[in-house]
Amino acid sequence: MRIRPVMGLLGLFYLSYFALVGVYIIFLPKMLILSGYTPAQVGAVFAASPMMRFLLPFLFRRIGGVSRSIYLSALIAAFGAALLFFAALPSFPAFFAVNLLYGAAMGIILPYVDTIALQAISKERYGRVRLWGSIGFMAIALWLGHVLETPLQSLLYLAALALTTLAAGWLLARYDRADEGAEDSADGEPFSLSRYWAFWLSALLLQLSFGGFYNFFTIYETAHGISLEMTSWLWSFGVLCEIAMLYWQGPLMRRDLLGLIEFSVAATVLRWGILWLWPGSLVAAFASQSLHAFSFALYYTAAIAYVFELYRQKKLAQQFFLGITFGLGGSLGALSAGWVYEADPDSLFLFEALIALLSWGAIRIHRRRKAAHA
């Protein structure tokens, strides 16, 4: 297999997919408010998508995994949902129903493509193509921040990017080396959550600890005297550190993946601790954002590569990783961060640091259990 064509397609896919994610999570909430939705309705819409990501893997486990036909159907469904959003926008129940379809489809697509990437180009090259997703996310945020004015404009960008994602994703299906069916590979063990429960608990807790960052970082920093403009630079700096890590992490991925995961979780504990100890310090804020290279970029790539090596049913395992982390962890993280911030805003990142510390403890337990089992 020639590497350059598949790397080009993967780069295009990640660019369009994560630009699509950027439109959805950064701009669509505001556009819904402008369309007359209440904050509670917006919250319901954006809680539904991650919960679909969490629930779907349990269905796929019962039917034997995610087949190529299911993946291709999900690509069509995501684009179809993006078109249906135009008709559903005036009605909350209709928009909510279409959003369920959209969330389910998007949750199927990414883990499937991640598996193709790890099959086709190896874990060492994965970061070089995944960084295009970070570029797409940052580029769409900067562009739409200047030009977006109406809800229909946001839906037009959503539909156009969903079409690009469909095209790139469809072409990538030819590079899937596994035939349809539950057993993707002879390598690894049959899928089980309970066998490696400590790893899955650690992954859940780590993503849960990001709830304060994703939902309250801007509010937290501006409340402590850092300007909104500077806070936007902090967000951009974190993405740039993420891109740098994805580009240069190849040699690291040849090392102990579990060790990289442990280090990244420990860096996350430090990251939230810095924000708690020095909330009004711009230097501390930039130092904390620099750790995004480890707590997100290195952790994510090491974790999906580790799951890929750990299990035989590789697509199903990636579905569960996305569902448990960004699905259940994302939902619980947003809810818990809201409760903590309402009760005591200054303790938000102390709470997140303690959750990340529990995640580090769980991954240490996983290492000991795995060593004992071996």
Question: What domains are defined for the chain?
Answer: 3-175 (1.20.1250.20), 197-373 (1.20.1250.20)
- pLDDT for 271 equals 98
Question: Residue 180 pLDDT more than 50?
Answer: no
| Residue 73 burial class via C-beta count within 10 angstroms: exposed 0-12, middle 13-18, buried 19 and up | middle
Model confidence at 182: pLDDT above 50: no
| Residue 72 clears pLDDT 90, i.e. is over it | yes
Q: How confident is the model at residue 185 (pLDDT cuts 50, 70, 90)?
A: low
Q: Find out whether 127 and 320 touch, Cβ atoms under 8 Å.
A: no
The mean predicted confidence, pLDDT, of the chain is: 90
Output the CA torsion 62→189→185→295 (10° steps): 90
Nearest to 206 by CA among 104, 354, 13, 52: 354
pLDDT in tens, 121-144: 888 888 889 999 999 988 888 888
Degrees, nearest 5: CA angle 41-44-45 = 90
**pLDDT of res. 186:** 57
**Residue 288: strand pairing partners:** none
Per-residue pLDDT averaged across 350-371, rounded?
A: 96
CA 121 to CA 132: how far, in whole Å? 15
pLDDT above 70 for 181: no
User: For residue range 278-313, what is the model confidence (pLDDT) as tens digits?
Assistant: 998 999 999 999 999 999 999 999 999 999 999 988
**pTM for the predicted model, two decimal places:** 0.86
pLDDT band at 13 (very low <50, low <70, confident <90, very high): very high
CB 50 within 8 A of CB 137: no
Angle between helices 211-223 and 197-209 (to 10 degrees): 20
